[in-house]
Amino acid sequence: MRTSTRDLPGATIIDVEGEIDISTSPNFRRTLLESLKKATRLAVNLSNVRYVDSSGIASLVEVLKAARDTEKRLVLFGLKAPVQEVLQLTHLAKIFEIRKTEEEALQA
For other proteins, which is the closer residue by CB, 13 or 20? Answer: 20
CA angle 21, 27, 87 (to 5 degrees): 45
> With binding defined as CB under 8 A, does residue 103 bind other proteins?
no
- Find the binder of other proteins among 7, 34, 62, 103 (CB under 8 A): 62
CB atoms within 10 A of CB 68: 11
**Dihedral of the alpha carbons of 106, 19, 3, 102, in degrees to the nearest 10:** -10
> With binding defined as CB under 8 A, does residue 19 bind other proteins?
yes
Task: Give the Cα separation of 57 and 62 in Å (integer).
Answer: 9
> With binding defined as CB under 8 A, does residue 85 bind other proteins?
yes
> With binding defined as CB under 8 A, does residue 84 bind other proteins?
no
User: Segment contacting other proteins (CB under 8 A): 32-40, 54-62, 71-79, 100-108?
Assistant: 54-62
